[in-house]
Amino acid sequence: MDTTFFSDVFETQFSVDENMIDQMNHVNNLHYLDWTNKAAGRHCRHVGWPSERLKERGQGFVVRSHQIQYRQPAMLGDEILVETWIATMEKVSSIRKYRILRVADRQLLARAETNWAFIDRSTMRLARIPPEIQDAFRSQTDSS
């Protein structure tokens, strides 16, 4: 895992059910993407900036790109732990990273990264990330 963070690591869990299993008898790749999106949303809610609050302000985060590196398959019945954190936050964008693990043995199943852009919803143009949002994600262990 990276040794420097913009934010602390946030953890959330998911359960693998039969609807997630594909013809290869393991979790379909799209569910990993879903887990990362849900983990990001839960982390935002945790720090006080759920999507509803951003929408009320006429702002929001949109995805510029996702990268996922699959290491091991998740299987039916697995409990999944997603660790996520903000690695960097620039003027109008942030990089969020993820580690997806199987709870039972802490086996790394995938690593992922999302480049999020901050927008003004009325114009759909890039906007500066307000300081109060940046501060909400800043690491509690950050000494700067």
With H, G, I as helix, E, B as strand and everything else as coil, classify residue 104. coil
* Residue 114 φ/ψ, nearest 5 degrees: -125, 135
Output the pLDDT for position 5.
Answer: 54
Please name which of 43, 41, 30, 45 lies closest in space to residue 110, comparing C-alpha atoms: 30
CA distance 129 to 124: 14
Query: pLDDT category, 7, cuts 50, 70, 90?
Result: confident
Q: Per residue in 109-118, pLDDT tens?
A: 999 999 999 9
Query: pLDDT category, 6, cuts 50, 70, 90?
Result: confident
Q: Give the domains, in start order, of the chain with CATH numbers.
A: 10-137 (3.10.129.10)
Beta strands in the chain (DSSP E): 10-15, 59-70, 79-89, 93-102, 108-120, 125-126
Query: Is a pLDDT exceeding 80 seen at residue 126?
Result: yes
Q: Would you say 102 and 27 are in contact if contact means Cβ atoms under 8 Å apart?
A: no
Q: Per residue in 35-60, pLDDT tens?
A: 999 999 999 999 999 999 999 999 99
